Structure 1
Amino acid sequence: MKNVLLSRVLFCTTLASLMVCNVSMAQRNRIDSLQTLLIRDKEDTIKIIHLNLLAWEYKSINPDTSISLSLNALSLNKNIKWKRGFAKLYTNLGNYKMLKGELNAALEYEFTGLSLWEELKDNKGKNRAFENIARTYFSLGDYSRALEYFIKTQKIVEKVGTQNELASCLCNIGSVYLSSKDYQRSLDYYFKALKIAEGSRYVEVQANCLGNIGAVYSEMGNNAKALDYHFRALKITEENRIISAQADNLCNIGNAYYYLNKYTESETYFLKALKIYEALGLDVGIANDLANIGKLYVATGKFSKAEAALKKAIAIENSSGALKELREAEEMLSVLYDTTGRYKLALIHFKKASILKDSLFSAERTKELTRQAMNYEFDKKESLTKAEQQKKEALALKEFQKEKLLNYFSFGGIGLILLLFFFIYRNYRVRQELRLLDIRNRIARDLHDDIGSTLNSISIYSEIAKLKNTEESQRNKFLETIGNSSRYMIEQMNDIVWAVNPVNDKFENILFRMRSYVSELTEGANVTLSMHMDEKCKSISLNMNKRKNFYLVFKEAVNNAVKYSEASEVNVSVNLNDNFLYLKVADNGLGFEVERELENVDNQGGNGLKNMKARAEEIKAVFNILSVPGKGTSVELKMKI
C-alpha cells in the first residue's frame, strides 16, 4: 500500500504551493487597519476593494471568513456593476474554495473570473485565473489539463511577470511532472525554481521547492535524502511563520520516517501536523493527515485507532468532493479490514473504492485492489472446494475397487492432458521469445536508422568544423547543425524509451504525452490549438508497437502542420468507435497536391509521408491524407484496437 501514502505526500507537498500563511504582527496590523477602514467606508468601489483585501489576508488563517467577506463584496457590487471588481472577486473566491477542498465550486468561480479578465484584456488577471485553474485541476488529479494551464501561465509570466511568479510557475509545473512520475523533469523544474527563489530571497517559494524535491526523492525510495530537504523546508517555514506550510512539511517528514520504519518519530510529526491543520480549519490537510495516521496505525497494529482516523478522513473527503483522496482512504480502510479478517467489510469498501474512478489512478493500485478482492473470493472458494474434495475422497474409498479401471483411464487422460499442456506451454514460450526478439530487432532498427545516422552526421560535421581552412561562418553553420542533430537524437531516444516502458500501455498516458507535446509546440509557434480527446479512450490499452507507431504518426502530422504549413489553427481529435481508434490532425495552412507529393515520396524521398504510411502499414491501420492547396490539410488514421 506504499503508493497510497506517497500520493498523499505529493498532494500535501504541492498544497504548500497553494496555501501560504504568514500570521505575523504586520499581517495582524493590516487586518486591523482594513477593519477600521470598512467601518467608515461608503457603499462604493472603495469598500469592495477593502473587503477583497481583507478576505485575502484571511485566506490561510480562515478561508471561511474569506469566502463570507467576498460574497458580501459581490452582493454590494451587483448594484455598482464594477466589472474589474467582479473579476477579482470571482478569481479569489475560486482560490478560497480550492483551499477548502471544494474543487468543483472552485472551478466554477475561476472560469467565471477568467471570462471577465478576457473581456477586460488584462494579462495579469488572466495569469492569476490560469494559475488557479491549473492548481484546481491538479488537485482533482487531471494532470494533463493542469499542465496545459500552467504552460499558459508560464508564457504570460515570462512576458509581464516577476521572478517570484516565474519561480512559482516552474515549481507548479514540476509538481505536475512529479504526479505523472516523470521524476527527472520534475527535479529539473524544481531546481530551476529553487535557483530563482534563492537568488531573489523568496522564502515561500524556496520552502515549496525544497519540500517538493523531498517528495521526489521519497517517491524514488530515497527517504533519507528526502528528510534532508523536508527539514530544510520546515526550517524556512518556522523562521518565517508560514503556518500551513509548516503543517505540510511536518506531514511529509512523518511520511519519510514511516518508510524508514521509524514509527515513533513518524507518529510525532503526523500529530504535530494534525494539530496545525485543525487550528487553521483546513479540511483537506486534516483529511490527508488522518489518512496518513490511519496508515501508520495499521502498520503498528493499532487497528481501532486506524479505523477511527480513516473514517474521519473519509467523512471529510466525502463532503469536499476530493474523489482521488477519498478513493485512497476507502482502499486503505479495505486493507485494514482485510488485515483484521473482516472480509465482508473489506469487500464493501473495496467496491466503494472501485466506483470512485480517477483518471490518474495507477496500475499498481488497481492490481493491489483486485488482489484483495480475489483473495477474499479465493478463500471462500477454497473452503468450498476443500469440503467437496473431502466428501469425494470418502466416497472414493468405498468405491475404490469398482472405480479402479476407471481411475486407470483417468490417470491416462490426465497424463495426456499434461502432455498437451506441456506442448502448449512450450509453444507459448517460443512465441514469447520470438516476440521479445522482434521487439529487440525493432529497437535496434530504430537505433541504427535514426540514432546511428544522426551520430554519423554529427561525427562528419565535427571533423569538418575542426579543419583550419573552414571559414568561421561555415563553421558556425556546422556547429548549429550538430546542435540540432543532437537535440533531434535526444528526442528520438526519449520516444524509444517511452514506447518500451510498459507503464505507458494505458492510453490515458498516451493522451497525456500527446497533449503535452502539441501544447508546447503550438504555444511556441503562436498557433491556436483545438483538441478533443474522447473520454472512452482512457479505458483502453495498446501494446508497444501500436502505441509507438500511433504516437509517431500523430507527432509527424502535428509537426508538419505547425512547422511547414503556415497554419494559424490546428485541430486534433482522438475518438473510439466500434473497436476502432480514430486520429485526425487538421490545419488551415497552405495545403498541397496529394498526388504530386506522393510521387515525390517515391521519386525524391519525402520522408515525412513515407514514414507515416510505413508506420500505419506496420500496425495494419488505414492512413489517409486530404489536402487542397490554400485550404489546409487533414491527416487521418484508423486503427483497430
Structure 2
Amino acid sequence: MFAAYRFHFLWLVSFLLVEGTAQGFAPASVTEQPLPGPVPGRPATPSASSPAHSPAVGSLRQFLLAHRQPDTVRVNRLNSLALLLRSNSATESATLFRQALALATHLHYMRGQADALFGLGYYYREQSRYVQALNYTQQAHQLYVRLQDRFNETRAIYGLTRIYFEQGLYGQSLAANLAGLQLARTEKLTKPELFLRIQHGLTSTALGEYDQARRSLLRALGLAKQLHDAIGYGHAYTALGELSEQQQQWARAQYYYTQALRSYQPVYNEQGLLPTRINLVKMDEYQGRAAQALAQGRVLLREARTTREMARLQLVLSRAFLRTGQLDSAQYYGMQSLRLSRTSNLKEEGAAAATLLARAGAQQGDFVVAYRYQREAGAYADSLTGNATRRRVAALQFRAEQEQEASQRRELAQQQELADLRQHQQQAILAVLTLLAGGIVVWTYKRRQRLHEEALRKRLAADLHDDVGTLLSQIALQSGLLQEGLADVEGQREQLNQIADASRTAVRQLNDVVWSLDAHNDHLPDLLDRMRDYAYEVLPPAGFEVTFEVPAALPEQRLPVLLRRNLYLIYKEALHNILKHARQANQVTIGLYLPDPGRLVLNIADNGQPATSVVENRPYQHQRRTGHGLRNISQRAAAVGGEAIASMGPTGFRLRVQMPLT
C-alpha cells in the first residue's frame, strides 16, 4: 500500500477563519475515541467561509485595485492575498507572490521579501518542483533569521522539513524537524510546534516507528485543541489516518480521515478537500464497499486536477472493478493510471497500477500480459525498495549520529557531574577545615580572654592588696589605738585625722583601680583628664603650682589597657616622689604628647634643689633619690616595652617616660 498526501499549511487562514467554526469539529479529547461505523465519503458542499470566497479576499482585491502606489503597504497586501489563495487558487497565489517579491526587492523591504519567498517555496513544493522550493525556502529562512523573527523562522524550518521529507531525505528532514522543535519549545511558539510535531509523526511513520509516530501525533492533537486550530486538527487526523493505513487498520484510518474532512470543511473549498475525500473513497474500497467506492470515485475523478490525484482515483476504480469482477473496466482504469504514472514518474502509483493489471491479466488467462505487467511492477518495486532502503539507511545514520552526539553529551554531563562532585567534596573539606580553623581561633581567643581575665583579676587583687590593703590596715590599727583610749585628747584628734586621711586615700586608690579597668577610659584625652584630676587633688594642697604642657588638640588615640594602667601608675608614683622628696620645690610641670604616631611621651619636672651631686641622663633605676619607687617606675615602663629616664640638675628634677603604642 502506497499512500501520498500533500499538506496545505495555511497559517494565516487558520487565524482568520477558525475562531468562529472550531466549536463544530473539536474533539472532546486527544485520545483515540471508539471507532464508529462506516461513514461513506460524500462530496463536501462548498464552504461559504472558504478563503477563495471569503470577505477578506474581496476586501484585499478592492484595496489592491485602489492602492497602486509601489510601497510596502502594497507588498504586504499582495502577500496577504496570495496567502489566502495559495491552497485553493495556487496559480494566482504564485503570481501575487512574484509581484510582491519584485516590489519588495525594489524597495529593499526585507520583511516583504521573506514572506514572498516563503510563499513561492510553498507553491513549488506543492508542484513537486523541489529544487526551486528548496532555494526559495532557504532564502526565506535566512531573511527571517536576520529579522530575528522566531515564529516565521520556525515556519521556514517546517517548510524545509516538508521538502526533504517529500524527496525521501528522511535524515535531513529529521535534522531540520528536531531543530525546529527545539526552537519552538525554547521560544514557546505553540503553533509552529503543532505542525512540526505532525511532520515528526509522518517521518516516524515512514520509518516504521509507529509508536513514536502515534505519540507525536496525539501530542499534536492536544496542541491543536489548545489553539482551536482547524488546519492543525485536519493535518493531525490525516497523519493518524496514514499511520493506521500503514498498519492496515482500515476502519481506524477511515475514522481519522473523516475527522480530518470535518476539520478542513470550514477552511478549504472543493479542490482543497479533494485529497481527503480520495482517502475516504480508498478506505471504502479496502473495506469491501466496492459499489460505494465506484460511485464516489467517478464523481471525484471529474473534479481531479493534478496528475497524482487522477492516478490515485483511477487506481481506486480499477481495484473496485476488479473486486466486482468487471475485468475490462479494471484494466481500463489500471492502464490509465499506469500511463499517467509513467509520464509523471509516479513510482508508487505506477507499481500499484502494474500489479493490478497483472492480476487482471491472470484472471483473464492472459499470462503473457500478466507476466509483462508483473515484471514492470517488480521494476517499480525494486526501485521503490532501493529508494526506501536508502532513505531508511540515511535516517538510521542520522539517528546513530544523533545517538552518538547524545552519548557524548551524556558522557560530558557525567564528567561535569564528577567534576562538580569533586568540587563539592573539596568545598566540603575546605568548609570542615574552615570550621576547624575557626574553632581553633575561637578557642584560642577564648583562652586568651580567660588568661587576660585571670591576669586582670590578679592585677586587681595585687593593686587592692598593695594600695588599699595597706591603708585599711592603717585604719584598723589607728581605730584599735583610739578604742584603747591611751592617748590624750590631742592625740586622739591626731589619730582621727590620720584615719580620715587614710580613708580618703583608700577611696582615691579604689577609684583609680576602677578607672583603670573601665574600657571607656581607653583614649588619650581620658588619660589626660584623669592625670589633671589627680594632680590638682594632691599637689596644690601641698603648696605646689601645677602646669600642664600638652598640645591644643590631643588626638583621640586609643591606648592599650596595660599601657594606660602602667603609665598612670608611673605618673602617680612620680608625683608621690615629688611630694615626698622634692626640696624647696613649689612648681611642677607635666607634659604629655605624641612625637610620632607610634610613641607616647610623658615629661614630669619640678624646681627643687638637689640633695647630692648632679647626675644627668641616667636610667631612672640608678638614681638613689627615691629608692623602691624609682625601681617600680622603671619596671612598669619596661613591662610595656618603654623606658624611664631621670635627670637631676640645678633647675630641678626631671623624669622622661616614653612608651610604644604598638
TM-score by length of 2: 0.50
Pair 1:297-2:324 in alignment: no
Partner of 2:68: 41
Matched residue type, 1:561: Q
**What is the match of residue 601 of structure 2?**
none
Task: Tell me which residue corresponds to 2:143.
Answer: 116
Contact 1:103 1:320 in 2 (8 A): no
Aligned with 2:202 (options 167, 170, 175)? 175
Q: Tell me if structure 2 keeps the 8 A contact 1:297–1:306.
A: yes
Q: Output the CA distance in 2 between the equivalents of 1:121 and 1:164.
A: 18
Indicate the SS of the match to 1:105. helix
Of 7, 15, 29, 2:55 maps to 29
Distance across 1 between alignment mates of 2:178 and 2:276: 27
1:3-82 equivalent positions in 2, closer than 5 A: 3=1, 7-8=2-3, 11-12=4-5, 15=7, 24-25=48-49, 27=51, 28-39=54-65, 40-82=67-109
User: In 2, distance between residues paired with 1:303 and 1:309?
Assistant: 10
How far residue 347 of structure 1 moved from its aligned partner, in angstroms, is 3.0
Does the Cα contact within 8 Å between 2:290 and 2:320 map onto a contact in 1? yes
Query: 1 CA distance for matches of 2:137 and 2:339?
Result: 26
Counterpart CA distance in 2 for 1:121 and 1:357 is 46
Whether 1:144 and 2:171 are equivalent positions in the alignment is yes
**Which of 396, 400, 423 pairs up with 1:513?**
396
C-alpha contact (below 8 Å) 1:16/1:248 kept by paired residues: no
Q: Deviations over 1:119-148 (max 9, x none)?
A: 444433331221112112222233332222
| Alpha-carbon distance in structure 2 between the residues aligned to 1:321 and 1:107 | 20
Shift of 1:252: 2.1
Alpha-carbon distance, 1:93 to partner: 0.7
Q: Give CA deviations for 1:356-409 in whole Å, capped at 9, x if unaligned.
A: 97566688xxxxxxxxxxxxxxxxxxxxxxxxxxxxxxxxxxxxxxxxxxxxxx
Report which of the two structures shows the higher radius of gyration computed on alpha carbons.
Answer: 2
Question: Structure 1's 200 and 82: CA in aligned 2 closer, same or farther, altered over 3 A?
Answer: closer
Aligned pair in 2 of structure 1 residues 205, 79: CA closer, same or farther (>3 Å)?
closer
Q: CA deviation at 1:55?
A: 1.3
**Counterparts in 2 of 1:192-211, with a 5 A limit?**
192-211=219-238
Name the structure 1 match of 2:284. 257
Q: Confirm whether residue 267 of structure 1 aligns to residue 294 of structure 2.
A: yes
User: Cα deviations across residues 67-99 of structure 1 (Å, max 9, x unaligned)?
Assistant: 122223333344333333222212111111222
Structure 1 pair 135/273, CA: closer, same or farther in 2 (3 Å)?
A: farther
Name which of 118, 133, 138 aligns with 1:91: 118
TM-superposed CA distance for 1:26, in Å, is: 7.3
Once residues 508 and 101 of structure 1 are traced to their aligned partners in structure 2, the CA distance between those partners, rounded to angstroms, is 18
Q: How far apart, in 1, do the equivalents of 2:110 and 2:278 lie?
A: 41
- What corresponds to 1:564 in structure 2? 411
What letter is aligned with 1:563?
Answer: R
Letter of the structure 2 residue corresponding to residue 296 of structure 1: A
Residue-by-residue CA offset, 1:35-90 (whole Å, 9 max, x unaligned): 11212221232222222211111111111111122223333344333333222212
Query: CA-atom RMSD, angstroms?
Result: 3.7
Describe the SS at the equivalent of 1:181: coil
1:298 to partner: Cα distance:
3.6
Which residue is 1:343 aligned to? 368
The structure-2 alpha-carbon separation of the partners of 1:70 and 1:509, relative to structure 1 and needing over 3 Å to count, comes to closer
Cα offsets for 1:428-455 (capped at 9, x unmatched):
xxxxxxxxxxxxxxxxxxxxxxxxxxxx
- Length-normalised TM-score, structure 1: 0.52
* Kept after mapping to 1: 8 A contact 2:157/2:177: yes
1:248-283 Cα offsets, whole Å, 9 max, x none, are: 33222222222222211222343454455x3xx444
Separation (CA, whole Å) in 2 of partners of 1:513 and 1:102:
26
Residues 1:190 and 2:37 aligned together: no
Percent identity over paired residues = 16
Shift of 1:305: 3.8
Structure 1 residues 203 and 122, CA, compared in 2 at 3 Å: closer, same or farther? closer
Q: How does 1:410-425 map to 2 (within 5 A)?
A: none
Please say which of residues 350-359 and 99-108 is displaced more in the overlay: 350-359
Match of 1:354 in 2: 379
CA–CA separation in structure 2 for the residues paired with 1:322 and 1:333: 16
Counterpart mapping for 1:227-246 below 5 A:
227-238=254-265, 243-244=270-271, 246=273
Distance 2:258 2:91 in 1: 30
Shift of 1:109: 2.3
Secondary structure in structure 1 of the residue aligned to 2:7: helix
Q: Deviations over 1:522-573 (max 9, x none)?
A: xxxxxxxxxxxxxxxxxxxxxxxxxxxxxxxxx4xx4553333589xxxxxx
Structure with the bigger percentage of helix:
1
On the 8 A contact 2:347/2:380 being kept in 1, the answer is no
Alignment of 1:161-560 (within 5 A): 162-238=189-265, 243-244=270-271, 246-276=273-303, 278=304, 281-313=305-337, 323-326=347-350, 328-329=352-353, 332-333=356-357, 336=360, 340=364, 341=366, 343=368, 347=372, 350-351=375-376, 354=379, 509-519=392-402, 555=404, 558-560=405-407
The aligned counterpart of 1:414 is none
Instruction: Check conservation: 2:79, 2:97, Cα contact below 8 A.
Output: yes
Query: SS at the partner of 1:15?
Result: coil
CA contact (8 A) 2:290 2:321 kept: no
Tell me if structure 2 keeps the 8 A contact 1:206–1:233: yes
In structure 1, give the amino acid aligned to 2:395.
Answer: F
Letter in 2 for 1:51: L
Distance 2:367 2:380 in 1: 21
Number of positions where the alignment pairs a residue of Structure 1 with one of Structure 2:
380
Take 2:378 and 2:98, find their aligned partners in 1: how far apart are those partners?
35
Counterparts of 2:208 and 2:295, CA distance in 1? 29
When residues 362 and 115 of structure 1 are mapped into structure 2, their CA distance, relative to the original with a 3 A threshold, is closer
In 1, the alpha carbon distance for the partners of 2:199 and 2:180 equals 10
How far residue 172 of structure 1 moved from its aligned partner, in angstroms, is: 1.6
Change (3 A) 1:165 1:122: closer
